[in-house]
Copies of this chain bind each other. A is one copy, B any other.
Protein backbone atom coordinates (compact mmCIF):
# COMPACT_ATOMS: atom_id res chain seq x y z
CA UNK A 1 0.00 0.00 0.00
CA UNK A 2 1.31 3.43 -0.80
CA UNK A 3 2.09 5.47 2.32
CA UNK A 4 -0.36 8.21 1.38
CA UNK A 5 -3.17 5.67 1.42
CA UNK A 6 -2.67 4.80 5.08
CA UNK A 7 -4.72 7.59 6.63
CA UNK A 8 -7.85 6.88 4.67
CA UNK A 9 -7.62 3.11 4.93
CA UNK A 10 -7.25 3.62 8.65
CA UNK A 11 -10.43 5.62 8.75
CA UNK A 12 -12.29 2.94 6.81
CA UNK A 13 -10.92 0.00 8.78
CA UNK A 14 -10.56 1.34 12.27
CA UNK A 15 -13.29 3.79 13.00
CA UNK A 16 -16.08 1.97 11.17
CA UNK A 17 -16.17 -0.89 13.69
CA UNK A 18 -17.03 1.56 16.42
CA UNK A 19 -20.05 2.77 14.45
CA UNK A 20 -22.06 -0.36 15.37
CA UNK A 21 -24.18 -0.50 18.51
CA UNK A 22 -23.59 -4.24 18.63
CA UNK A 23 -19.90 -3.61 19.21
CA UNK A 24 -20.64 -0.89 21.79
CA UNK A 25 -22.93 -3.34 23.60
CA UNK A 26 -20.07 -5.85 23.85
CA UNK A 27 -17.95 -3.29 25.64
CA UNK A 28 -20.86 -2.04 27.78
CA UNK A 29 -21.49 -5.60 28.95
CA UNK A 30 -17.91 -6.02 30.19
CA UNK A 31 -18.73 -5.75 33.88
CA UNK A 32 -15.15 -5.33 35.10
CA UNK A 33 -14.61 -2.48 32.66
CA UNK A 34 -17.95 -0.87 33.50
CA UNK A 35 -17.65 -1.23 37.27
CA UNK A 36 -14.12 0.20 37.33
CA UNK A 37 -15.02 3.33 35.33
CA UNK A 38 -18.33 3.76 37.15
CA UNK A 39 -16.65 3.45 40.56
CA UNK A 40 -13.79 5.73 39.54
CA UNK A 41 -16.32 8.46 38.81
CA UNK A 42 -18.98 7.95 41.47
CA UNK A 43 -16.53 7.29 44.35
CA UNK A 44 -14.57 10.46 43.59
CA UNK A 45 -17.26 13.13 43.35
CA UNK A 46 -14.91 15.90 44.49
CA UNK A 47 -13.02 15.60 41.21
CA UNK A 48 -16.19 16.02 39.13
CA UNK A 49 -18.59 18.27 41.02
CA UNK A 50 -18.71 21.65 39.29
CA UNK A 51 -15.78 20.66 37.04
CA UNK A 52 -15.20 20.54 33.29
CA UNK A 53 -14.52 17.17 31.68
CA UNK A 54 -13.35 15.91 28.29
CA UNK A 55 -14.29 12.36 27.23
CA UNK A 56 -11.99 11.19 24.41
CA UNK A 57 -13.76 8.69 22.11
CA UNK A 58 -17.04 8.70 23.98
CA UNK A 59 -18.70 5.97 21.89
CA UNK A 60 -22.22 5.55 23.25
CA UNK A 61 -21.55 8.44 25.63
CA UNK A 62 -21.72 6.51 28.89
CA UNK A 63 -18.60 7.94 30.57
CA UNK A 64 -19.75 11.45 29.74
CA UNK A 65 -23.16 10.68 31.23
CA UNK A 66 -21.61 9.37 34.46
CA UNK A 67 -19.42 12.45 34.76
CA UNK A 68 -22.51 14.64 34.33
CA UNK A 69 -24.52 12.56 36.82
CA UNK A 70 -21.67 13.07 39.29
CA UNK A 71 -22.13 16.84 39.07
CA UNK A 72 -19.77 17.99 36.31
CA UNK A 73 -20.53 21.53 35.17
CA UNK A 74 -19.71 20.76 31.55
CA UNK A 75 -18.68 17.60 29.69
CA UNK A 76 -17.25 17.71 26.17
CA UNK A 77 -17.62 14.25 24.63
CA UNK A 78 -15.69 13.74 21.39
CA UNK A 79 -16.41 10.84 19.04
CA UNK A 80 -15.13 10.39 15.47
CA UNK A 81 -17.75 7.93 14.21
CA UNK A 82 -21.43 8.16 13.45
CA UNK A 83 -21.94 6.73 16.97
CA UNK A 84 -21.85 10.42 17.99
CA UNK A 85 -25.44 10.71 16.75
CA UNK A 86 -26.54 7.88 19.02
CA UNK A 87 -24.58 9.30 21.96
CA UNK A 88 -26.40 12.62 21.51
CA UNK A 89 -29.75 10.85 21.59
CA UNK A 90 -28.73 8.94 24.72
CA UNK A 91 -27.54 12.07 26.51
CA UNK A 92 -30.82 13.82 25.80
CA UNK A 93 -32.94 10.82 26.80
CA UNK A 94 -31.09 10.84 30.13
CA UNK A 95 -31.88 14.51 30.64
CA UNK A 96 -28.28 15.72 30.42
CA UNK A 97 -28.37 17.64 27.15
CA UNK A 98 -27.53 20.89 28.96
CA UNK A 99 -24.35 19.47 30.56
CA UNK A 100 -22.95 17.07 27.95
CA UNK A 101 -21.99 18.33 24.51
CA UNK A 102 -21.34 15.58 21.97
CA UNK A 103 -18.93 16.63 19.23
CA UNK A 104 -18.41 14.43 16.15
CA UNK A 105 -14.71 14.88 15.41
CA UNK A 106 -11.34 13.33 15.97
CA UNK A 107 -9.84 14.70 19.16
CA UNK A 108 -6.83 15.90 17.17
CA UNK A 109 -9.08 18.24 15.17
CA UNK A 110 -11.54 19.30 17.87
CA UNK A 111 -11.80 22.87 19.14
CA UNK A 112 -13.13 23.35 22.67
CA UNK A 113 -14.10 26.70 24.22
CA UNK A 114 -12.01 26.02 27.36
CA UNK A 115 -9.48 23.74 29.02
CA UNK A 116 -10.80 21.01 31.32
CA UNK A 117 -10.24 19.72 34.87
CA UNK A 118 -10.52 16.04 33.97
CA UNK A 119 -9.88 13.95 30.88
CA UNK A 120 -11.63 10.60 30.96
CA UNK A 121 -11.21 8.00 28.25
CA UNK A 122 -11.45 4.29 27.66
CA UNK A 123 -8.70 4.05 25.09
CA UNK A 124 -7.01 0.72 25.88
CA UNK A 125 -6.51 -1.90 23.17
CA UNK A 126 -5.28 -5.47 23.29
CA UNK A 127 -1.99 -5.59 25.25
CA UNK A 128 -2.73 -1.94 26.02
CA UNK A 129 -1.24 -0.33 22.93
CA UNK A 130 -3.05 -1.98 20.01
CA UNK A 131 -5.26 0.55 18.18
CA UNK A 132 -2.83 3.33 19.19
CA UNK A 133 -5.63 5.36 20.68
CA UNK A 134 -3.28 6.19 23.57
CA UNK A 135 -1.71 8.72 21.17
CA UNK A 136 -4.98 10.62 20.90
CA UNK A 137 -5.35 10.76 24.68
CA UNK A 138 -1.85 12.23 25.06
CA UNK A 139 -2.55 14.78 22.33
CA UNK A 140 -5.80 15.71 24.08
CA UNK A 141 -4.01 16.07 27.43
CA UNK A 142 -1.33 18.35 26.02
CA UNK A 143 -3.93 20.62 24.41
CA UNK A 144 -6.88 20.59 26.76
CA UNK A 145 -5.97 19.55 30.33
CA UNK A 146 -5.55 22.38 32.85
CA UNK A 147 -2.33 22.38 34.90
CA UNK A 148 -2.97 20.06 37.85
CA UNK A 149 -5.93 18.44 36.08
CA UNK A 150 -6.56 14.71 36.46
CA UNK A 151 -6.37 11.92 33.90
CA UNK A 152 -8.93 9.07 34.22
CA UNK A 153 -7.31 6.54 34.25
CA UNK A 154 -4.12 8.05 35.63
CA UNK A 155 -1.73 5.09 35.41
CA UNK A 156 -1.18 2.12 33.11
CA UNK A 157 1.14 -0.89 33.21
CA UNK A 158 1.96 -3.70 30.80
CA UNK A 159 2.94 -7.15 32.08
CA UNK A 160 4.15 -10.44 30.68
CA UNK A 161 4.36 -13.90 32.20
CA UNK A 162 5.31 -17.42 31.10
CA UNK A 163 2.31 -19.74 30.73
CA UNK A 164 1.54 -23.40 30.24
CA UNK A 165 -0.53 -24.21 27.12
CA UNK A 166 -0.94 -26.94 24.55
CA UNK A 167 -2.07 -24.50 21.88
CA UNK A 168 1.49 -23.83 20.72
CA UNK A 169 1.92 -27.47 19.63
CA UNK A 170 -1.51 -27.37 18.01
CA UNK A 171 -0.65 -24.23 16.06
CA UNK A 172 2.54 -25.85 14.92
CA UNK A 173 0.63 -28.93 13.76
CA UNK A 174 -1.81 -26.71 11.86
CA UNK A 175 1.06 -24.91 10.20
CA UNK A 176 2.60 -28.22 9.15
CA UNK A 177 -0.76 -29.48 7.86
CA UNK A 178 -1.14 -26.36 5.81
CA UNK A 179 2.31 -26.81 4.27
CA UNK A 180 1.57 -30.47 3.48
CA UNK A 181 -1.69 -29.33 1.85
CA UNK A 182 0.30 -26.95 -0.33
CA UNK A 183 2.66 -29.73 -1.41
CA UNK A 184 -0.30 -31.87 -2.49
CA UNK A 185 -1.76 -28.88 -4.27
CA UNK A 186 1.53 -28.37 -6.14
CA UNK A 187 1.47 -32.02 -7.28
CA UNK A 188 -2.19 -31.85 -8.34
CA UNK A 189 -1.74 -28.61 -10.25
CA UNK A 190 1.22 -30.08 -12.11
CA UNK A 191 -0.66 -33.30 -12.91
CA UNK A 192 -4.02 -31.86 -13.89
CA UNK A 193 -3.25 -28.43 -15.25
CA UNK A 194 0.35 -28.63 -16.41
CA UNK A 195 1.62 -25.78 -14.20
CA UNK A 196 4.47 -26.10 -11.74
CA UNK A 197 3.62 -24.04 -8.64
CA UNK A 198 6.66 -25.12 -6.63
CA UNK A 199 8.38 -21.79 -7.26
CA UNK A 200 5.93 -20.29 -4.73
CA UNK A 201 6.39 -22.91 -2.00
CA UNK A 202 8.77 -20.75 -0.01
CA UNK A 203 6.41 -17.77 -0.18
CA UNK A 204 3.47 -19.88 0.91
CA UNK A 205 5.48 -21.31 3.78
CA UNK A 206 6.42 -17.82 4.96
CA UNK A 207 2.81 -16.68 4.74
CA UNK A 208 1.55 -19.64 6.76
CA UNK A 209 4.36 -19.35 9.30
CA UNK A 210 3.32 -15.75 9.85
CA UNK A 211 -0.34 -16.71 10.21
CA UNK A 212 0.03 -19.75 12.48
CA UNK A 213 3.26 -19.14 14.38
CA UNK A 214 3.90 -15.40 14.37
CA UNK A 215 0.49 -13.96 15.21
CA UNK A 216 -0.52 -13.45 18.80
CA UNK A 217 -3.99 -14.53 19.92
CA UNK A 218 -6.75 -13.39 22.24
CA UNK A 219 -6.88 -15.81 25.18
CA UNK A 220 -8.69 -16.20 28.49
CA UNK A 221 -6.01 -17.76 30.67
CA UNK A 222 -6.76 -19.50 33.93
CA UNK A 223 -4.40 -18.36 36.71
CA UNK A 224 -3.25 -21.97 37.14
CA UNK A 225 -1.64 -21.76 33.70
CA UNK A 226 0.69 -18.99 34.83
CA UNK A 227 4.14 -20.46 35.47
CA UNK A 228 5.84 -17.53 37.15
CA UNK A 229 5.34 -14.12 38.64
CA UNK A 230 4.44 -11.58 35.96
CA UNK A 231 7.03 -8.98 35.06
CA UNK A 232 5.81 -5.38 34.76
CA UNK A 233 7.58 -4.16 31.63
CA UNK A 234 6.08 -0.63 31.48
CA UNK A 235 4.59 1.61 34.11
CA UNK A 236 3.31 4.96 32.93
CA UNK A 237 1.86 7.98 34.67
CA UNK A 238 -0.66 9.36 32.17
CA UNK A 239 0.03 12.89 33.36
CA UNK A 240 3.64 12.61 32.22
CA UNK A 241 3.97 9.98 29.48
CA UNK A 242 4.92 11.38 26.06
CA UNK A 243 4.18 10.27 22.50
CA UNK A 244 7.86 9.44 22.24
CA UNK A 245 7.64 7.08 25.27
CA UNK A 246 4.98 4.90 23.67
CA UNK A 247 6.02 5.14 20.05
CA UNK A 248 8.24 2.06 20.05
CA UNK A 249 9.13 0.02 23.11
CA UNK A 250 12.42 -1.65 23.94
CA UNK A 251 12.29 -2.88 27.53
CA UNK A 252 14.04 -5.59 29.56
CA UNK A 253 12.24 -8.35 31.41
CA UNK A 254 13.18 -11.08 33.85
CA UNK A 255 10.99 -14.07 34.61
CA UNK A 256 11.38 -17.01 36.97
CA UNK A 257 9.57 -20.26 36.26
CA UNK A 258 8.09 -21.31 39.56
CA UNK A 259 5.81 -24.22 38.98
CA UNK A 260 7.05 -27.69 38.14
CA UNK A 261 4.55 -30.05 36.48
CA UNK A 262 3.90 -33.45 38.02
CA UNK A 263 5.89 -35.29 35.36
CA UNK A 264 9.16 -33.49 34.83
CA UNK A 265 9.97 -29.86 34.13
CA UNK A 266 7.28 -27.34 33.21
CA UNK A 267 7.07 -26.34 29.60
CA UNK A 268 6.51 -22.69 28.84
CA UNK A 269 4.22 -22.83 25.78
CA UNK A 270 3.75 -19.11 25.47
CA UNK A 271 4.36 -15.72 26.95
CA UNK A 272 1.14 -13.95 27.88
CA UNK A 273 0.77 -10.18 27.93
CA UNK A 274 -1.87 -7.97 29.55
CA UNK A 275 -2.36 -4.57 31.13
CA UNK A 276 -3.70 -2.85 34.22
CA UNK A 277 -4.89 0.72 34.63
CA UNK A 278 -5.70 2.62 37.78
CA UNK A 279 -7.58 5.75 38.70
CA UNK A 280 -5.60 7.74 41.27
CA UNK A 281 -6.16 11.27 40.05
CA UNK A 282 -3.28 13.74 39.67
CA UNK A 283 -0.80 14.94 42.28
CA UNK A 284 -2.73 18.20 42.66
CA UNK A 285 -6.09 16.44 42.57
CA UNK A 286 -5.72 12.92 43.97
CA UNK A 287 -8.61 10.48 44.13
CA UNK A 288 -10.20 9.94 47.50
CA UNK A 289 -10.94 6.36 46.45
CA UNK A 290 -8.39 4.72 44.17
CA UNK A 291 -9.90 2.26 41.67
CA UNK A 292 -7.99 -0.40 39.72
CA UNK A 293 -8.88 -2.28 36.56
CA UNK A 294 -6.84 -5.36 35.73
CA UNK A 295 -6.96 -7.61 32.69
CA UNK A 296 -4.66 -10.22 34.27
CA UNK A 297 -5.62 -13.93 34.16
CA UNK A 298 -8.68 -14.40 36.37
CA UNK A 299 -10.39 -17.62 37.45
CA UNK A 300 -13.75 -15.89 36.89
CA UNK A 301 -13.02 -15.21 33.24
CA UNK A 302 -11.43 -12.45 31.21
CA UNK A 303 -12.55 -8.94 30.41
CA UNK A 304 -13.36 -8.35 26.73
CA UNK A 305 -9.65 -7.55 26.29
CA UNK A 306 -8.60 -11.05 27.39
CA UNK A 307 -4.84 -11.53 27.36
CA UNK A 308 -2.56 -11.82 24.33
CA UNK A 309 -0.69 -15.11 23.95
CA UNK A 310 2.65 -15.15 22.15
CA UNK A 311 3.02 -18.84 21.35
CA UNK A 312 6.41 -20.52 21.34
CA UNK A 313 7.32 -23.20 18.86
CA UNK A 314 8.91 -25.20 20.34
CA UNK A 315 8.10 -24.34 23.96
CA UNK A 316 10.78 -23.64 26.56
CA UNK A 317 11.50 -26.63 28.76
CA UNK A 318 12.49 -24.91 31.98
CA UNK A 319 13.06 -26.38 35.40
CA UNK A 320 11.54 -24.99 38.58
CA UNK A 321 13.45 -21.91 39.54
CA UNK A 322 14.89 -21.31 36.08
CA UNK A 323 15.43 -17.73 35.03
CA UNK A 324 14.53 -16.16 31.72
CA UNK A 325 16.13 -12.84 30.92
CA UNK A 326 15.27 -10.88 27.85
CA UNK A 327 13.92 -7.86 26.05
CA UNK A 328 10.57 -6.95 24.62
CA UNK A 329 10.48 -4.67 21.61
CA UNK A 330 7.20 -3.40 20.25
CA UNK A 331 7.02 -1.54 16.98
CA UNK A 332 4.17 -0.15 14.97
CA UNK A 333 3.60 -1.88 11.67
CA UNK A 334 4.64 0.25 8.73
CA UNK A 335 1.45 -0.45 6.81
CA UNK A 336 -0.89 0.23 9.74
CA UNK A 337 0.12 2.44 12.65
CA UNK A 338 -2.60 0.94 14.84
CA UNK A 339 -1.08 -2.55 14.72
CA UNK A 340 2.16 -3.70 16.28
CA UNK A 341 4.94 -6.24 15.93
CA UNK A 342 6.18 -7.64 19.23
CA UNK A 343 9.70 -9.03 19.31
CA UNK A 344 10.86 -11.05 22.30
CA UNK A 345 14.49 -12.01 22.77
CA UNK A 346 15.48 -14.16 25.73
CA UNK A 347 18.03 -16.50 27.20
CA UNK A 348 17.99 -18.75 30.19
CA UNK A 349 19.72 -16.90 32.99
CA UNK A 350 22.10 -18.04 35.65
CA UNK A 351 19.65 -20.08 37.74
CA UNK A 352 20.82 -23.36 39.17
CA UNK A 353 18.61 -25.76 37.28
CA UNK A 354 19.15 -24.91 33.63
CA UNK A 355 18.34 -27.89 31.47
CA UNK A 356 18.68 -26.28 28.04
CA UNK A 357 21.85 -25.14 26.44
CA UNK A 358 22.24 -21.46 27.16
CA UNK A 359 21.55 -19.69 23.92
CA UNK A 360 19.55 -16.72 22.81
CA UNK A 361 16.16 -17.21 21.15
CA UNK A 362 13.97 -14.63 19.59
CA UNK A 363 10.62 -14.48 17.91
CA UNK A 364 8.37 -11.85 16.39
CA UNK A 365 4.59 -11.80 16.57
CA UNK A 366 2.00 -9.58 14.97
CA UNK A 367 -0.83 -8.35 17.15
CA UNK A 368 -3.74 -8.38 14.73
Contact = CB atoms under 8 A, between A and B. Distances in A.
Interface string A87-105: 0011011100000000000
Chain B CB within 10 Å — which of A21, A92, A93 has the most?
Answer: A21
Contacts of A28: 185, 189, 197
Interface stretch (A115-123, A198-206, A215-223, A343-351): A198-206
Contact of A34 (B29, B34, B193): B193
A263 interface: no
Interface in A8-53: 8-9, 11-13, 16, 20-22, 25, 28-29, 34, 38
A258 interface: no
Nearest to A25: B185
A205 to B, nearest CB: 10
Contact of A89 (B60, B89, B200): B200
Copy total for this chain: 2
A182 B1 contact: no
A300 to B, nearest CB: 17
Contacts of A66: 193-195
A1 B10 CA distance: 11
A39 to B, nearest CB: 10
A94 B62 contact: no
Interface in A198-237: 198-200, 203-204, 207-208, 211
Interface string A164-200: 0000000000000000001001000100111111111
Given A21-B203, A28-B189, 7 more contacts: A9-B11, A9-B13, A20-B207, A21-B200, A65-B195, A69-B194, A94-B195
